[in-house]
A and B are shown apart, each in its own frame.
Chain A
Amino acid sequence: MKSQLLSLLTLTCAIMAVPTVRADDLDITVQHNHLQFGQAPIPIALSGFTGTGLEVLKFDLTVQGFSFVTPDKAAYLVHGSDAGDVSGTVAIAGGKQVILSRSYNGASIRREAHAFADEVVQAITGKPGIAETRGGVAKIAFKAQYPGGAGEIYMADFDGFGAQEVTSDRAIVAKPAWQTGRLALYYTSYARGNPDIFYHSLTTGQRRVVAGYSGLNTSAATSPDGSQLAMVLSRAGSPNIWVSNFDGKGLRRLTTGLEDSSPCWSPDGQWICFATKDHARRRLAKIPAGGGPIEYISTAGTPNPTEPDWSPDGKWIAYTSQGSEFDICVAAVDGSIRPQDLVAGQNPSWAGNSRTLVFNRGPEGRQTLSVLDVFTKQYKDCHRVAGSCSQPAWAK
């Protein structure tokens, strides 16, 4: 296990050290990308935690690529307590060298356990964990739908706990999307009798319509710098991708096909990826955010790609493939490996580490949110909220 980790790390360093792309470098990239998917989880042994702390640690670590084993099989030993407050240590198995020692107070067990989980991930992998952002537990927004179609927009911790209603209109709602870096959401609501895109500040509770044209207004997505908004409007006669400023002004049309849906931005803000039809064949495409020719993204082997989301590191597009069932798939933007079909589910939304994503799965009308690690395919269902929950968006 340790030697595998070491060789993976070496491979990563080798890739980062090479400045120009030569044929053998491409081989390394392809091999590296191949190695990413289907990798074995990092085995750790957990001890001493019993209640909420244990539950939180198991959730957070599972969805970031760890598994739980007996100490003799573990690469790392994580020991601590969640009685009263959370404290814990991480030691390398065998040598027992302690690489992390923390104790927390002043917050809920849940919050402290999330913070500890992040530190465990950082100590073992060298990369930041995803459980905390901006001084609080990472958040998701999503929709909960009731029989008959009406529902509400909610926000919650990324594991489903602490859910709060954002809307209370009993109207059809859809596709919440965070404004980058802000506690504000865009979402579609039929509260005014038409699908309109609202902008809703979570700190003041005030909201207003930013796109309320006749026809369809839906699928809002903010640019990585928060300044622009992509969306689907049918005001020109067919559902197309349009872009405006974050407040809805400065509107311009980006596509002119018959049936486009689900725009998402590249992390550098240069491209918008979306689902479209090319002579009745459903495909994912990308277009320069400032306008220009469409390029198709290869999703070979996965039928009917839809609902794309671009990973923060720029490398992957997660999407829903619609075959006999819905599947969460990941395609490489550079086409270096074939698209990966991971688990049954829909509507993926990436976390900041570009390997964990939140999605929804389950029977129609009784969907639940779930969090997946794309590299190990391990996933955990979120704490259930009322109704059929779907279209989760990880806060940016």
Chain B
Amino acid sequence: MLVTKRVEFSASHVSRNPILSDRENEELFGAAANPHGHGHNYVIDVTVEGDPDPVTGMVLDLKKLKEVVNREVIQTYDHRFLNHEVTPFDHVVPTVENIAIDIWHRLAPHISEVGGQLHGIRVYETDDLYVDYFGEAA
């Protein structure tokens, strides 16, 4: 069974690869390369797979999952300029793809604290753009 917890954070970023010139970045990313950055209200769906416990009837304690997500992701990401304040985005472009992959890596080692197994991370950058990441194996 899949269980999804939704959380939100707001952050700014600039789509910019530091190894490229200003001109190359502008060609590649357009307006999103504005060096002063711009922001989004990101929505994260954390999906965990597991079997409901016969006693509690739950796959996991959603309260605990929320605590773990807050501790491992939200506290780091919320109200930050990702390129300047959150690793690895000093050298990895903070596209929505890379944000989803980073959130997966931050959460995967800690899901065992709450039960179940991390199944997928969905990140909405806007209502009209989202990505799904299911780990390296998928």
Do A and B form a real pair? Answer: no
Please list the residues of chain A having a beta carbon within 8 angstroms of any beta carbon in chain B: none
Give B residues with C-beta under 8 Å from A.
none
